[in-house]
Every structure is written in C-alpha cells, then in structure tokens.
Structure 1
Amino acid sequence: MLKIIVRRTLLWSNICSIAALLLSVFLPCVNPGQWWPAGFSGFFFPFLFLLCLLYTAIWAWRKNRKYGWMNIIAILCAMPAALTTWGVHIFRENIISKQTNSGQFTLMTYNTSSMGLERYVTNKDKEAAIYNTIASGSPDILCMQEFYTNDKPGNEQHLQRITSTGNYPYHYFTRDKTHWESWHYGIVLFSRYPIITASAIPSVKSSTGSGSTFLQADIAINGDTIRVFNVHLISYMFKGEDYENMKAPKGTGLVYKMRRTFPTRSSQALQLSALVAASPYPVIVCGDFNDTPVSFTYKTISRNLQDAFLKTGTGWGRTLSYLSPSLRIDYILAQPAVNIHGSKVFHNRPSEHFPVMACLSLKKN
C-alpha cells in the first residue's frame, strides 16, 4: 500500500511539474501586456527544467521507462529555452582581450544603481567596486544605466571622473532626471571611438530617471559605423518592504507590482525591436532588460540577434546579485554582422548588478 502511495505521489507531482515546465516555455510567446500571467512564467523555467531532469533520474532508478520517457519528451520540448538560459561553451577559451591590429573592440554594459548612491548618500564600498571594475575591464565603449553624476563642486562628479580616468574623449548622457539643479540621473555612453551622432529616444516615463529613454549612438570604429542602443527597461521598483509583503492585499503586494510593469516593458521591447530593424548600420543592443531569457521581452528584442554570453559563455551568466542565481537580466546582443570573440560577467560585489563585457569586431565583406 505504501509503495502505491509513493508511486502515485511521484507520478502526479511529476505530471504537474511537466505541465508547469511546458507552460513556462510557451507562455513567454504571449505578450504579457495582453495577458498578464504570461509575464510570470519564465521566472520558474530553470528550476522546473532541473526538476524534470531529476524526475527522469528517479524513474530510471525505479526502472519505469514509460514515465521516464514522459520527462524526456518534455525536456526536449524545453531545450530551445534551456539554450537561452545556460551557456554551454565548456571547452571554449573565452577571451575578452583584444588582438593587436584585428579591428576588435570591447564593450561593457553596467547598471550602476545610481553609482552607489543610497538615500542621497554615496555608499563608498559600492562606488569603489564600480570604479575598480571599470579599471579592470577598461572597455573601449562603456554603457551605464541608472547613472548618477553631480555638477556641484565637492560632490560626486562621476561624468568628469570617468571621462578622465577611463580615457574616454567622447560621451553622451541622456540626463533623464535632475534634482536640485546639479543632481543628474539617466543613461550614459562613454567611448574611445568618435560618436558621430547620439540621441535620447523617448520611451516611457520612469520615476528613477533611467529608463525614460533609449540611448542611441552611431560610433565610428576602424572606418565603419555601428549603432549602439543602451537601454534600461522599466523595473519592478521593489523596495525592502516589498519582499516581506508578498501576500499583501491587491495594490501593495509584490505580485501586483510586477504585474503592473508587464504592459509597459512589453511595449518598450516592441519599440526597441522596431528601432533595431530600421537601423542602417550594424546594431549592438545592451543594457538592463529587467527580464529573464525566457520572456516575451527577451524573445522580442533578441530576434535575429546574437547573445554575447550564449555565444561564448558557460553556466548561468547571473547578472543580479540577489534573489536567485538564475537571474540573468543584463545583456549584450549583436546583429550577425558583428563577430563575438568572447564575453565576461564581472562578479563585483557589493554591486547589485554584475556588469557584462564582450570583445567584438565587425565582419568584413
């Protein structure tokens, strides 16, 4: 009797896991702005995938092939999503240093969380981690989201400091929000290559000052021109108390906050995808999408683009330092006209986001 109960419990829990896995794979094809439950599905994919692998091993151990094959079929259906979640280049040498006279250049994307500014006071440990990472990577093109700088003498003049210490003669700052005349917030791009033209393309209204616009820059590199989009899609705007109030009434709960962002982020993804398609130059898209690889956001933006981490990396590629080891939400994507030679995620605690850097070059006709 006990064996029957155990087998039936295993079977029905496995069936539920398979159903949840398939939903997490296929629901991100649906625009969550039109049907909000689709926005949650991709968060659980990595764990459901691993759970079905575990059930496969359990049924093999119990010598029940029929139920084992049930999991194998589900896993095969989920493989495309798995290949956007994990990097599989275990034996590839992942090099981000440039080769001399090769036309290669490096690009880093980094959500700086207001350069360590917390309640109008700078956290010096976080600020130091940011500058140490920039110095360590020394990217030719540095794209930063949630950037903060202050024009007032004696305050944190990050724009001038990075321009000077990083040897960046060119930059463009969106200045999406200003406090007290001298406190500026937005998205910024620093470059050692000439910026031909740059603009802030209106997207949505964001209270953070980073995410209200897309930064578009045309950059001259080795006789060619590339177009870089530096973006920060709308975030959930979680606060400390939100993590303690997941079961709060509608209007204050964590789930409700997430649900409210889905239509806006979906529209941003569609807008950005259209901008990429209309570009006359090879495109690189980078930034904080605030969504996982198994999501409508990622599927929409990454269509016909290469993911630098997936092309060269291994493992999770985690870019958010808290909540879950599966959260890769910061990306570097490039059109097929761009070669991706290597990539790296800098695990630079105590920063909230881990920056991503890639070594790239333009294909020659």
Structure 2
Amino acid sequence: MLKIIVRRTLLWSNICLVAALLLSTFLPGINPGKCWPAGFSGFFFPVLFPLCFLYTCVWAWYKKRKYVLMNIMAILCAVPAALTTWGVHIFRKNIISKETNSRQFTLMTYNTSSMGLERYVTDKDKEAAIYNAIASGSPDILCMQEFYTNDTPGKDQHMQRIKSAGNYPYHYFTGDKIHWESWHYGIVLFSRYPVIAASAIPCGESETGSGSTFLRADIAIKGDTIRVFAVHLISYMFKGEDYENMKAPKGTGLVYKMRSTFRTRSAQALQLAALVAESPYPAIVCGDFNDTPVSFTYKTISRNMQDAFLKTGVGWGRTLSYLSPSLRIDYILAQPPLTVHASKVFHPRPSEHFPVMACLSLKKN
C-alpha cells in the first residue's frame, strides 16, 4: 500500500513538474505586457530543468519506461531554454588577453548601485570594490548603470576619478537625475576610443535615474565604427511597504506593481530591439536587463545577437549577488559582424551586481 502511495505521489508531482517546465520554457515567448503570468514563468526554469533529470533517474530505477520517456520529451523541448541559461564551453580557453596589434577591444558593463551610495552616505567598502573591479579589468570601454557622481568639492567626484584612473579621454553621461544641483545619477560610458556621437534616448521613468533612458554611443575603433547601447531596464523597485500591501486594492498591491513593471519592461525591450535593428553600424547592447535569459525581455533583445557569456563561458554566469545563485540579469550582446573572443564575470565583494567584461573584435570586410 505504501509503495502505491509513493509511486502515485511521484507520478502526479512529476506531471506537475513537466507541465511547469513546459510553461516555463514556452510562456516567455509571450509578451507579459499582454499576458502578465508570462513574466513570472522563466524565473523558475533553472530549478525545474534539473529536477526533470532527477525524476528521469527515479523512473529509470523503477523501470517505468513510459515515465522516463515523458521526462525525456520534456527535457528535449526545454533544451533551447537551457542553452540560454547555462554556458557549456567546458573545454574552451576563456581568458581575456588582447593580442598585440590586433583589432580586439574590451568592454565592461557594471551596475554600480549608485557607487555604494546608501541614504546619501557612501559605503567605502562597496566603493573600493567597484574601483578594484574596474582596475582589474581595465576595459577599453566601460559602461556603468546606476552611476552616481557629485560635483561638490570634497564629495564623490567619481566622473573625474574614473576618467583619470582608467585613462579614459572620452565619455558620455545621460544625467537622468539631479539632486541638490550637484548630485548626478544615470548611465555613463567611458572610452579610450573616440566617441563620435552620443545621445540619451527616453524609454520611461525611474525614481533612481537609471532606467529612464538608453545611452547610445557611436565609437570609432581602429578605422571602423560600432554603436554601443548601454541600458538599465526598469526593475521592480520594491520597498518595505510593498510586501506589507501584497493584498492591497488594485493600484497599490505588490502583484499590481509587478504587472505594471512587466508591461513597461517589455515595451522597453521592443523599443531597444527596434533601435538595434535600425543601427547603421555593428551594435553592442550591454547592461542590466532586470530579467533572466528565459524571458520575453531577453528573447526580444538578443534576437540575431551573440551573448558573450554563452559564446565563451561555462556554468550559471551569475551577475546578482543575492536572491538566487542562478540569476544572470546583466549582459553583453553583440551583432554577428563582431567576434566574441572571451568573456569574464568579476566577483567583487561587497557588490550587489557583478560586472561582466568581453573581448571582441570587428571583422574586417
């Protein structure tokens, strides 16, 4: 009797697992702005996929061939999503080392969480971690989201410090938000190559500044021009009272806020994808998407582009230091005329986000 109960429990839990895995795989293809449950689905994929393998082994031990086949079919359907979740280049040499006199260049993207600023006071440990990561990578092009700098003498003049320390003669700052005339927030790009044109393209509204514009910059590199989009798509921006108001009336509840975020972020993804498609130059998109690889956001933006981590990396590629070890939400995507040679995720501590860097080159026509 006990064996029957155990097997029936395994079977029904497995059926639920397979259904959840398939939903997690295919629902992200639907715009969550029109069907909001699709916005949640991909988040659970990194757990559901390995569990399906576990159930396959269990049914193989029980010698239940039809249940083994059920799981294998679900796994095969989910393989494309798995290949956007995990890097599989186990035996590839993935070391960023530019060849002398080559056309290679490096680019880093980093959500700096306001350079360690918390409640208008700088956390010196976080600030030091940010500068150490930048110095360690020494990228030719540095894109930073949630960037903060202060013009007041004696305050955090990060703009000048980074330009000087990194030897960056060129930069562009969106300056999306200003406090007290001298506290500046937004997205910034530093470059050792000439920035021949740059602009901030409106894409929404954000309390923190970053997330209200896309930074677009055309950069001249060794006789060619590339276009870089540095972005920070809208986040949930949850506050303490949001969790307390989970069941609040429409317009104030946590679920309503998430649905609104899904709608805005999917619109930003579509807008960004259109801008990339219109680019007259080979394009790179980098930044914090605030969404997983199994999501409408990622699918929309990454279409016909190369993910630097997936081209060269292995494992999770985690870029967020909390919530879940599977969260990769910061990306470097490059159009095919660009070659991805190597990539790296740095792990500065303490830091909310981990910076991502890639070594690329533009194919000579």
Shorter-chain TM band: over 0.9
Alpha-carbon offset, residue 257 of structure 1: 2.9
Correspondence for 2:200: 200
Alpha-carbon offset, residue 353 of structure 1: 0.2
C-alpha separation between the residues in 2 aligned to 1:199 and 1:287? 16
Contact 2:33/2:259 (<8 A) preserved:
no
2:332 is paired with a residue of what secondary structure?
Answer: strand
2:52 is paired with a residue of what secondary structure?
Answer: helix
Residue type of the partner of 2:273?
A: S
C-alpha separation between the residues in 2 aligned to 1:178 and 1:129? 25
Alpha-carbon offset, residue 259 of structure 1: 2.0
Structure 1 residues 167 and 272: CA distance shift in structure 2, 3 A: same
2:73 is equivalent to residue 90 of structure 1? no
Alpha-carbon offset, residue 258 of structure 1: 2.1
Correspondence for 2:110: 110
Residue type of the partner of 1:219?
A: I
Alpha-carbon offset, residue 246 of structure 1: 8.4
2:238 is paired with a residue of what secondary structure?
Answer: coil
Alpha-carbon offset, residue 42 of structure 1: 0.4
Correspondence for 1:310: 310
Contact 2:170/2:193 (<8 A) preserved:
yes
Correspondence for 2:232: 232
TM-score in terms of structure 1 length: 0.98
Contact 2:312/2:341 (<8 A) preserved:
yes
C-alpha separation between the residues in 1 aligned to 2:181 and 2:248? 38
Contact 1:235/1:261 (<8 A) preserved:
yes
Contact 2:87/2:312 (<8 A) preserved:
yes
Comparing 152-161 with 254-263, which one deviates more in the overlay? 254-263
C-alpha separation between the residues in 1 aligned to 2:221 and 2:44? 41
Correspondence for 2:161: 161
Residue type of the partner of 1:131?
A: Y
Correspondence for 2:123: 123
Give the root-mean-square deviation of aligned CA atoms.
1.2
Alpha-carbon offset, residue 240 of structure 1: 5.1
C-alpha separation between the residues in 2 aligned to 1:301 and 1:119? 33
Correspondence for 1:220: 220
C-alpha separation between the residues in 2 aligned to 1:314 and 1:50? 16
What runs of 5+ residues in structure 2 fail to find an aligned partner? none
Correspondence for 2:136: 136
What number of residue pairs does the alignment pair up?
Answer: 364
Deviations 1:214-261 (A, max 9, x none): 00000000000000000000011023565x648553555544432220
Residue type of the partner of 2:100?
A: T
Q: What aligned pairs does 1:1-365 form with structure 2 within 5 A after superposition? A: 1-239=1-239, 245=244, 247-250=246-249, 253-365=253-365
Alpha-carbon offset, residue 207 of structure 1: 1.2
Residue type of the partner of 1:229?
A: F
Deviations 1:39-66 (A, max 9, x none): 0000001101111111001111111111
C-alpha separation between the residues in 2 aligned to 1:246 and 1:53? 38
Residue type of the partner of 2:287?
A: G
C-alpha separation between the residues in 1 aligned to 2:252 and 2:128? 35
Alpha-carbon offset, residue 163 of structure 1: 0.4
Contact 2:332/2:356 (<8 A) preserved:
yes
Residue type of the partner of 2:363?
A: K
1:331 is paired with a residue of what secondary structure?
Answer: strand
The percent identity for this pair of structures is: 83
C-alpha separation between the residues in 2 aligned to 1:134 and 1:332? 16
C-alpha separation between the residues in 1 aligned to 2:255 and 2:127? 31
C-alpha separation between the residues in 2 aligned to 1:238 and 1:354? 21
C-alpha separation between the residues in 2 aligned to 1:245 and 1:345? 35
C-alpha separation between the residues in 2 aligned to 1:4 and 1:252? 47
Contact 1:28/1:296 (<8 A) preserved:
yes
TM-score in terms of structure 2 length: 0.98
C-alpha separation between the residues in 1 aligned to 2:347 and 2:61? 38
C-alpha separation between the residues in 2 aligned to 1:157 and 1:200? 22
Deviations 1:240-287 (A, max 9, x none): 565x64855355554443222011000000000000000000000000
Structure 1 residues 330 and 107: CA distance shift in structure 2, 3 A: same
Residue type of the partner of 2:223?
A: G
Contact 1:246/1:255 (<8 A) preserved:
no
Residue type of the partner of 2:144?
A: M
